[in-house]
Structure 1
Amino acid sequence: MYRCTRAFTILVCAALLASLFVRGSAPSIAFVILSQHSDYDTSLAYNLRDSLTTQANDTNIRIGVFVSHVDLSDVNGAWAVVPLFKRLRSRLQNSTVDWLFLCEHSTVVNLTALIDFLGGYNPAELHYIGRALVDESPTIIHHFFGYDRPPESRFLYADFAGGVAMSWALVDHIDHLSAEKPTDFAIDPKHEVPLLKYFSHRVHAL
């Protein structure tokens, strides 16, 4: 089941090296900062990476950092997010990873809160957790999908700026699904990533 929460905005991000993961009771998380090629974006992304690293050191939590336009620059279509999954799975195949956390360079970080929150979820299940957004009117970049559905079946998608946590089981699942149904069309990744599995695993608000 996908889950998007309205009440809890996770404020986190960092990046990642395959060798830097915690084994133990705390969930292991691969953080990816979705960034762009500009001096401004790079500066903010690196500030976020450094902030998270400091928090990790202060709490004895080992993490790593992927800044997407630097560490994943060879992934074609990386801005669409889904193409990143195959590369991440390849790089981390020898690591124990429970969660993937996606965010933007402007995301504010609270690592301890994130670790505590994700500890309540099973990463072997399909979870998609973030601040829920919903279209209240027809939206052309979303192909007019979902705005007119009844409340019990509204299509919820998560805000990358607030942070999105995906269980690693879901990362695997979506990567396999995208390989079976490839597309070269993308406009708004935050809407299109959960849409891949919407019809078989509904997105619910917590």
Structure 2
Amino acid sequence: MAVPGVASVRRYRSVVPLRTLQVHIPYVTVARTAEQLGGARIDYERMAAAVASGDPLVEHTLRSLGAAGEGDDLYAESAATFLAVHVLTRGLRPPEESRPGAEGPWVHKAVAMMRDRLGGPLTVADVAAEVGFSVYHFIRVFKDATGQTPHRYLTRLRVEEAQRLLRADGLSVAQIATRCGFGSPGSLSTAFLRHTGVRPSAYRDQ
């Protein structure tokens, strides 16, 4: 793999004719992929070193490109995206200084959104978009900041709200499940047991 901006020389020696295949991945593809992986700074030297000793996936993809012919632009574009993801994932490490801290306002914004939408459908992608992160980056830094994945954190908030409603003793378990964003009383019961060690009905009796 060539390092952008650094001249490279390749020498080959063979007693039979050689056939080579060069693949140039557009910079915009690499930059877009890095952003989707969390906005990591690209370390081209590390990327090159990661595949210098050979990489079966890269080799297989390049061979398949040679077999696909020149006319299949869609195949080539898909392969370029795959190669960018594969090499970046192996060769890059997000800089520690770029990770938001646990006290950053994005954490409070994400948790506030979870609390506001406890009773409705809410995906990790929704929360990630709210704080301006890719899903991959958000999951990683949220766990770094809180010690829990976004899904587990949201489930815990919903269970805590269910506990509050159960103590009020004015709603059925089915009604509480709906108000807390669970698809069914069974889903609430399973999550409640995992987080508290008892079923909702037993918790209410206590």
* TM-score of the alignment, normalized to the shorter chain, above 0.5: no
Q: Taking structure 2 as the reference length, what is the TM-score of the superposition? A: 0.25
Largest Rg, 1 or 2: 2
Higher relative contact order (CA 8 A, sep 6+): 1
